[in-house]
Structure 1
């Protein structure tokens, strides 16, 4: 959960030693992947009129392949990276021959001076002190079959700092202090190493479809900073998937989608008596109608449950088709319609306006079933969360492009909690680990009961890019209201962080060098704690072939 966007972007030392081909073939262009700098650039470029065949709502997504990608960009529009090829992740054999390649390796280093701080960095958890990671990517492809290996090694110095007292019973002292959820304050008392599969996968493509098994990080929905249901904030988890590998023409528009089944793990710093094996299944669909250019609407739904000793019944694999109302789940075993599963769903929309160089997007989510239709119509806001965002591209020449971004995410409980149970995001009374994997939140990085506001300005130029941003985060306001009432506190003890950051990336031939710095002011840490400053520094590099 801990690293800043620049750290993701520029943190790659890509040993793309080129495609070692056994037979003829042509390089395949990069898939649109969460956390990659090319994804940010291509999304900005799409606002100038280029059609890359992706909605940026189902990631990893469409391959950016084909010579038409350059021709789609009007000559009068900015395209400052036009001389820099897109990363070639593997090869797409044209003659049926086997193609082997070493695609990428990368190195990242992050320093936090006082406390852990950051977001959306997959397998890397950057605590206090120095955290470094290295990963390498290699692939083998034959016709529609692809095998991609992307092992990742992470070192965490994990220096000590003052922890909050853990209130829930049977939890270790490193656990989250306010509620039962596998989201540790600190991953133990010592430095440690982690080996993770990274974005590894085995996949088989046929026409516009794909069957895969892998560990790839996923990003669902239109958000840029926060994805409420599925993001790369946590490490990727092992899953099987049925998906599109490009938008499918269904006659009335184009459709993208993915349906997954997988398993989740817990950290070593959670209640050891709790069942640890969890099953997750989810679906995302994104539809772009022909008659409304630039519009994409869609939805996501995810269930997780503990795996019983006897194994999962077949019906669990079809949970995404379950009804949306609790009244439909009533049974002799569950007279109130509740069950042992945890679910979250969202609806989203993204509308791009290339003639204006802008886009707006929204994701609206619920983390609890409505009791019945009448309940939903009366209180649709119960258990809701939402993200609102916009991006605007401007340019003074074809060699320089500016991207203004703003995003707001709100996961704090609505006022309905005054008269009914408070369903805090990413926590669940039956699946006590919450919506987590290996101790990190699978959804929005702001976490349970969190809110954030972000404004950033990024410039793309032929030499690379630079961004400045400001951000405000409110930490777990759901817990604050309970704590404040119990401790006779007033309104002025919210745990809030203010970030001011800058990041940059510079091209040097096949190498991309990057770094960032973020100054954070935290007030009322853990509500009762002191104000503090944190300095976050990141350095990184990427070397990729053919750049």
Structure 2
């Protein structure tokens, strides 16, 4: 859509209309965490029946003023009519700092960066009959300083294996060679709502699945991409239970950035990107059985393909409706450049126990048939699972929150039986022709690095929005590459980051503050050896770094305490 048309529609909706109150959970992890925690205390259907498998949360939330504890948008919470209204979305500022190397994920359009980085967003919202217009652009400014990345001192075989992953994806170490600035449409959309359904065009971030820090398909890790969407805005009630879902068609772009900071390595091993864009088709459905309160089941499926390879047939416009078995769908999908992922997930929450558990399991390659899928679930898989538990403190309004999650992308030992040699197959979010499940150089789902695994544990003291806590994290970096390149020797050891983080969130009047200070020790950083290492007594090179972030949200409506 032409930008001038978008702006004209936006401002024509504003003229002469009063303020309309609207929730703003579209891409705010702090508020999503609050609502998700509130589910474990709240029996109200408007809160308890949210699956959190489909985010942005576009629900109307008729009682949102109560469970937010604040009137979050307009100047007056109930001003406006049934058919017309406008509102001002909060102003959000975030500042990130990485001292010696990039660290962090699930932060939207923010890039992997050493140095300071600023993210800012503001927005306005309009209701015009059944139309919804939201304009919420985002700006990113980053120092983008150079750092010690993949070394050019390795031999040709190791370099070739490293660039095998680079050339099957779009994961540049650094976005350019100087200061980085970007201005995006952000969490903007134009949609029409009919009952419990919504359809329209959007650049909002999408999150599918129950994860708190990661998701196997879509998360907040990359910039939002333009897409057409048909989705539910409230659970659809049937005699079997409640359903939520979304069907999208989108456009993905490549970064066209150099893979490493070494010009020599890039010239020798890197494959150039095509100028084409990638066509994306995806679907997710979540089901809450009528007979089991608190249980949510679901699946996702996505296909992407360079547009030049796409034919003008229904199955090429909507490949998500193809069969899963290669014996049915055919053996030429990879030749056509089609890259598919499918996941299943479940989440169970109990108000009585004040706890929730969840998992997600996915495959990025079709099974030969259903028998092969059942007998060989380890092939081309990734998974995550996590939990949250709340503990009451006697005679205090504060509670202790313990939550954790582990995400595993590393290939299984199945690769030794399925493929010749020790190189194995491809990693999660990579593809030989589609060049990775990414948008502008960042993975759409798991953001911890190709073939990496992570475990996160948080213990905190919380009261409403306020939080004081500590976070422990272990990140095993690029394990697929490590075992391909170094798996048959003992001198170079895995690159593992161990970190501890300190969390502080506070709400004052119309301000919401969220902060994190994380101390990271990178053992065997970039698989480098210490200068005093010897083959008989190998010693890795370690790198200490600090990651910090501060977020400040200003609400135009003073909260109702």
Tell me how far apart the structure 1 counterparts of residues 311 and 325 of structure 2 sit (CA, whole Å): 26
> Could you tell me which of 366, 375, 381 is aligned with 2:372?
375
CA-to-partner distance for each residue in 1:40-96, whole Å, 9 max, x for gaps? Answer: 0111110123341311110012436223874xx8xxxxxxx74x4455699898645
3-state SS of 1:480 partner: helix
Partners of 1:265 and 1:543 in 2: how far apart?
Answer: 32
Q: Is the 8 A contact 2:473 2:499 kept in 1?
A: yes
- Do the aligned residues in 2 keep the contact of 1:158 with 1:191 (CA within 8 Å)? yes
Shift of 1:26: 5.2
The runs of 5 or more residues in structure 1 that have no matched partner are 1-18, 74-80
Query: Within the alignment, does 1:220 sit opposite 2:243 as a pair?
Result: no
Q: Where does structure 2 lack aligned partners over 5 or more consecutive residues?
A: 1-12, 259-270, 420-424, 530-540
Residue 407 of structure 1: aligned partner = 405
Count of aligned pairs: 509
Give CA-to-partner distance per residue, 1:148-189, whole Å, 9 cap, x none. 1111111110111122147999xx99x978531210111121
Deviation at 1:330, TM superposition (A): 2.5
Q: CA shift at 1:21, angstroms?
A: 8.7
Matched, 1:532 2:532: no
Task: Judge conservation of contact 1:468–1:502 (CA < 8 Å) in 2.
Answer: yes
1:374, distance to aligned residue in structure 2 (A) = 2.6
Indicate the SS of the match to 2:514: strand
Separation of aligned partners in 1, 2:63 and 2:502: 34
- Which residue, out of 99, 105, 112, partners 1:119? 105
Aligned partners of 2:221 and 2:445 also within 8 Å: yes
The TM-score with structure 1 as length reference comes to 0.86
- Between Structure 1 and Structure 2, the one with more helix by share is 2
Aligned to 2:515: 515
Q: CA-atom RMSD, angstroms?
A: 2.8
The CA distance in 1 between the partners of 2:555 and 2:450, in whole Å, is 38
Q: Give the structure 2 partner of residue 211 of structure 1.
A: 199
Question: In the TM superposition, what is the alpha-carbon distance from 1:124 to its structure 2 partner?
Answer: 1.1
Counterpart of 1:130 (choices 116, 120, 125) is: 116
Is contact 1:325–1:370 with CA below 8 Å preserved after alignment? yes
- Change in 2 beyond 3 A, CA 1:287/1:69: farther
- The answer as to whether partners of 2:326 and 2:366 remain within 8 angstroms in 1 is yes
Larger relative contact order (C-alpha < 8 A, sep ≥ 6)? 1
- For normalisation by structure 2, the TM-score amounts to 0.84
Residues 91 and 99 in structure 1, CA contact (< 8 A), matched pair in contact too: no
Do the aligned residues in 1 keep the contact of 2:221 with 2:442 (CA within 8 Å)?
Answer: yes
Distance in structure 2 (CA, Å) of the matches to 1:256 and 1:319: 21
1:170-181 matches, cutoff 5 A: 178-180=165-167, 181=169
Q: Is the 8 A contact 2:72 2:556 kept in 1?
A: no
- Structure-to-structure mapping, 1:115-264, within 5 angstroms: 115-165=101-151, 178-180=165-167, 181-264=169-252
- Rounded to whole Å, the distance in 2 between the matches of 1:327 and 1:126 is 41
Instruction: Give 1:506's aligned residue.
Output: 506
Q: Work out which of the residue numbers 407, 431, 434 in structure 2 matches 1:431.
A: 434
Q: Alpha carbons of 1:337 and 1:308: their partners in 2 closer, same or farther (altered >3 Å)?
A: closer
Go from structure 1 to structure 2 and tell me whether the alpha carbon gap of 1:129 and 1:26 turns closer, same or farther (over 3 Å shift): closer
